[in-house]
Amino acid sequence: MDKSLKIYIAGHKGMVGSAVVRNLRANGYTNIVTHPRAVLDLIDQRSVKNFLKYENPDVVVDCAAKVGGIHSNNVYRADFIYNNLQIQNNLIHYSSLYSIKKLLFLGSVCIYPKFTDQPIREEYLLRSPLEPTNEPYAIAKIAGIKMCESYYKQYGNNFFSVMPANLYGPNDNFHPENSHVLPALIRRFHEAKEAKQSAVTVWGTGEAMREFMHVDDLADACVHVLENVSANQIYDQGISQLNIGTGEEISIKNLAHLIAKVVGYTGEIKFDLTKPDGTLRRVLDNERLHKLGWKHRISLEEGIKNTYNWYLENIDSLRSV
């Protein structure tokens, strides 16, 4: 891929978008376009239409989304489905209308059925019902995947989707109620250590298994895919999206103990059995990605240390959230 191509990163302030920007710059890409929400509202159709028409980037990477953990997905269901549908509909449709050369759409592992064979292969999409707590978000993301596929099949657009495992890293959301499990636990254990609390309570039984990927690994995979993959290589295999993960999994219980170790919290860890576990096991099959020449590099413990250090460096601003 030509290093001078104009690449627009939607959602560049978020955890994923900022990591993709860092990786592109580190790899010599010089024409990266970003706009804050105050300048470009991706939910507003007219704003997106005018931006893509007049800015005319060569590549669009859609990292923009409303995201959250089990609690926020379950409570703010209308917000999750509406905002995500609007963002992706605008970006995908007008990227087609104004002949964007390539579009990469980022989804989430939660698009896959609640009960399915493990590890999860790409072809398992839509085989059975979704996890109810995040169904609105997952449905929106599935619509984006199928939209990219449909625009390829009808118009020949080089649009396709990648599905990351559970992500964490710098610029993550550390809100005590609306964040994903890993950053939420980092904050909870840190604050418990500071307050000298004797115990920390974690939602669920702790038995659920999850795969976690550092966002810098995801960004590196996305750039690798942009440089080496075209839409036909995805769709000609009879699949609609490409998995991006580590293939390694850990129980929430063991994750909690690992985070406590990194943070330096030595109190008791309790589990609230009245709270939901979500899907009991979720790990991606990454065989296709490995065949394309990419594998992750950052171990979970190394990644948690990196993320905790970032949290400490930004703690003053995060405490206000």
Cβ distance 3 to 30 under 8 Å?
Answer: yes
How is residue 73 annotated by DSSP?
H
CA distances, 37 to each of 8, 54, 74, 191 (Å): 14, 17, 25, 31
How is residue 129 annotated by DSSP?
P
Burial grade of 31 (CB within 10 A; 0-12, 13-18, 19 or more): middle
Q: Please name the residue that has the structure tokens 């890293």.
A: 169
Cα(183)–Cα(53) distance, integer angstroms: 38
- Written as one letter, the residue type at 98 is Y
Joined together, the tokens standing for residue 264 give: 């330096």
* Catalytic annotation, residues: 137
Cα(89)–Cα(45) distance, integer angstroms: 9
- Written as one letter, the residue type at 16 is V
Cα(104)–Cα(10) distance, integer angstroms: 10
Which residues make Cβ contacts (< 8 Å) with residue 149, sequence separation at least 6?
159, 160, 161, 235, 240
228 closest CA partner among 27, 36, 8: 27
